[in-house]
Amino acid sequence: MDIFHSLQAQNYYQKKVNLGLAMKIYDLMFSLRWYEIGLAVASYLFIHFWRQRNRNGVPLSWPMLGMLPSLVVNLDRMYDWITEVLKAQGGTCVFRGPWLSNMQSVMTCDPRNIEYALKIHFSNYPKGKDFHRVFEDLLGDGIFNADAESWRLQRKIASLQFNSRGFRQFTANTVQDMVEKRLVPLLADVADRNATVDLQDVFLRYTFDNTCTAVFGKNPGCLAEDLPEVPFAKAFDDGVEATLYRHVMPRVCWKVFRALRIGKERQFHRALKPLREFVDDLISYKRKALAAGDGAAGEMQDLLSCFMGCPDNFYTDKFLRDTVMNFVIAGRDTSGVALTWFFWCLSRHPDVEENILNELRGILTRRSGGGDVDGAFTGKELQDCVYLHAALTETLRLYPSVPIDHKGVLHEDVLPDGTRILPGTRFLYSIYSLGRMEDIWGLDCLEFKPERWISVGEEGEVRMKNESMYKFLAFNAGPRVCLGKEMAYAQMKSAAAGILRRFRVRVVENHKVKPKLSLILTMKNGLNVTLTKRDLECGT
């Protein structure tokens, strides 16, 4: 009994001591001023930063927020920042997003990892649910947003159309007419007025008109001399720009913004209506023409007419709308942006420009034996322009139109470089960084050198050098390689040759050139240039 009372006394005493200690801590917390608490938090963050500051280039991983603060701080130079991180990490880095977010990623520019995901283990790296959610409002279930059987079916159908002789000839004629009857006269007017023009804006209009004509069979007229604002084109730009912010925000945030229609999601919602109305009106018009027995719609070789020419109206309006929207996005921005960076590179490398001019002079010289010297460059002549092709390819190596792409991950896997990757993680590959790696392209990887793409055969013939598509990803690789690659090169070469033949293009002095934060590597400030007429046939 005495022992029992003794234990009770000890327990009572211990509780009293604990209670007293808790009260002291409570009093201490409430006696601290706000700046003392702030100092304590700052000290913790400083120690956390100090411990991680030299971790071989890995972005700081903050409590709860992960590496998101580092991304936000470097958002204005995101592509170069990712390149610096990947260089420091040997080509691959694990990016940790905020707690409970969908931003956990493996970033890489290692060709072995890229080939593994895009080809060898293709089935484990689909576009994925996250990608589909981000783009579903704009791309629907189209080919660039589809996986598995839906993607395979659309790929097969699109491949048949792209490889048909009628469609190829139709697009070739469209490009040639657009250069000679629209692009060159517009720039000639600018030169006559000694005016300044944003060449990026002009090229985006050129490729947009080209793409809409090839896909819809209708020219929206963006390249008219007064450079009008076309509602469809404006809505298209707004929609693509707003989509980017879904990539750099946790899913829950942009979904809330979409539900409330605030911020970029409000812009996105406003853009969707004119986009869908434009496409739906075209589909309705062509359906009525076919139903009335009007052969004109069926005889046209544009992509929409080819799809709608199938018996029994096989395709639904939604399928057609999603399909044409996918191909407009793929064909418009990519080529227009590439041409912009190409002319900027030429402005900094006059020797490269002179080599291209010599190649074009050679064509005109061969024509002088009986050909039409004043006529537009033909598709066959442009195919023989190896140096021009190499210069455009070198531009795309350093300034790929799509700087970053990503895939989903279905099952746990180990990449060739030993990096473990979990389901639900994003497999993100930086095409921009890929062209800036010394171990891939050599010590001169940052130099603009078209010669790296040219080889000389045993008989002295000059030809393009073949490089692995997993080193040069401007047109993607593996089963999803771009169907319109040849069409894109024809579009770019025709515009570049037509302009260089008739104009000297000079970038306005002190014009600041930097990439814009976008899904496409557009220039933030455009490319302001002046033009002076020249006569290449006369050697001037």
| Residue 289 in domain | yes
What is the structure's pLDDT at 298? 44
Token pair belonging to 44: 């913790």
Place of tokens 């327990």: 11
Comparing 89 with 74, which gets the higher pLDDT? 89
What is the structure's pLDDT at 372? 60
What is the structure's pLDDT at 7? 40
Q: How far apart are CA 271 and CA 250, in angstroms?
A: 22
For 378, other C-beta atoms within 10 Å of its C-beta total: 16
Nearest to 496 by CA among 366, 394, 367, 427: 394
CATH number of the domain to which 485 belongs: 1.10.630.10
What is the structure's pLDDT at 178? 93
pLDDT digits (tens, 9 = 90+) for 117-141: 999 999 999 988 878 787 888 888 8
- CA neighbours within 13 Å on the CB side: how many for 3? 0
pLDDT digits (tens, 9 = 90+) for 186-220: 999 999 999 999 999 999 999 989 988 888 778 88
Q: What is the crossing angle of helices 485-502 and 350-367, to 10°? A: 90
Averaged over 333-345, what is the pLDDT? 94
Q: What percent of the chain has pLDDT over 90?
A: 43
Domain span at residue 256?
106-533
β-sheet bridge partners, residue 92:
108
| Residue 310 in domain | yes
Nearest to 413 by CA among 54, 120, 192, 171: 120
User: What is the full DSSP assignment across 367-422?
Assistant: HTTTS-TTSPPPHHHHHT-HHHHHHHHHHHHHS-SS-EEEE---S-EE-TTS-EE-
What is the DSSP code (8-state) at residue 62? B
What is the structure's pLDDT at 74? 81
What is the structure's pLDDT at 46? 52
Pairing of strands 404-407, 426-430: antiparallel
Averaged over 480-494, what is the pLDDT? 92
pLDDT digits (tens, 9 = 90+) for 408-431: 999 999 999 999 999 989 999 999
Whether the CA torsion 463, 475, 395, 500 is positive or negative: it is positive
Annotated binding site: 482
Q: How far apart are CA 488 and CA 501, in angstroms?
A: 20
Examine the pLDDT at 257 and tell me if it is beyond 50. Answer: yes
| Residue 21 in domain | no
What letter represents residue 226's amino acid?
Answer: D
What is the structure's pLDDT at 371? 56
Q: How far apart are CA 142 and CA 307, in angstroms?
A: 14
Instruction: Decide if 476 contacts 118 (C-beta within 8 A).
Output: yes
Examine the pLDDT at 34 and tell me if it is beyond 70. Answer: no
Q: State the pTM of this model.
A: 0.84
Instruction: Decide if 390 contacts 101 (C-beta within 8 A).
Output: no
Q: How far apart are CA 35 and CA 352, in angstroms?
A: 61
| Residue 88 in domain | no
What is the structure's pLDDT at 42? 57
Q: What percent of the chain has pLDDT over 70?
A: 83
Number of domains in the chain: 1
Annotated binding site for heme: 482
What is the structure's pLDDT at 146? 84
| Residue 225 in domain | yes
| Residue 58 in domain | no
pLDDT digits (tens, 9 = 90+) for 435-447: 999 999 999 999 9
Q: How far apart are CA 156 and CA 137, in angstroms?
A: 24
Q: How far apart are CA 296 and CA 285, in angstroms?
A: 12
Comparing 467 with 54, which gets the higher pLDDT? 467
What is the structure's pLDDT at 50? 46
Examine the pLDDT at 507 and tell me if it is beyond 70. Answer: yes
Residue 379 binned pLDDT confidence (cut-offs 50, 70, 90)? confident
| Residue 47 in domain | no
Averaged over 472-496, what is the pLDDT? 93
User: Of the spans 177-191, 206-220, 244-258, 276-290, which averages the highest pLDDT?
Assistant: 177-191
Comparing 348 with 364, which gets the higher pLDDT? 348
Comparing 200 with 265, which gets the higher pLDDT? 200
CA distances from 125 to 104, 320, 407, 412 (A): 15, 26, 6, 11
User: What is the full DSSP assignment across 164-189?
Assistant: SHHHHHHHHHHHHHHIIIIIHHHHHH
What is the structure's pLDDT at 283? 82
φ and ψ at 196, to 5 degrees? -105, 140
What is the structure's pLDDT at 496? 97
Q: How far apart are CA 519 and CA 138, in angstroms?
A: 13
Examine the pLDDT at 270 and tell me if it is beyond 50. Answer: yes
Q: How far apart are CA 61 and CA 128, in angstroms?
A: 26
Residue 313 binned pLDDT confidence (cut-offs 50, 70, 90)? low
What is the DSSP code (8-state) at residue 508? P
What is the structure's pLDDT at 39? 60
Average pLDDT value for the chain: 83
What is the structure's pLDDT at 17? 47
What is the structure's pLDDT at 297? 47
β-sheet bridge partners, residue 94:
106
What is the structure's pLDDT at 4? 43
| Residue 135 in domain | yes
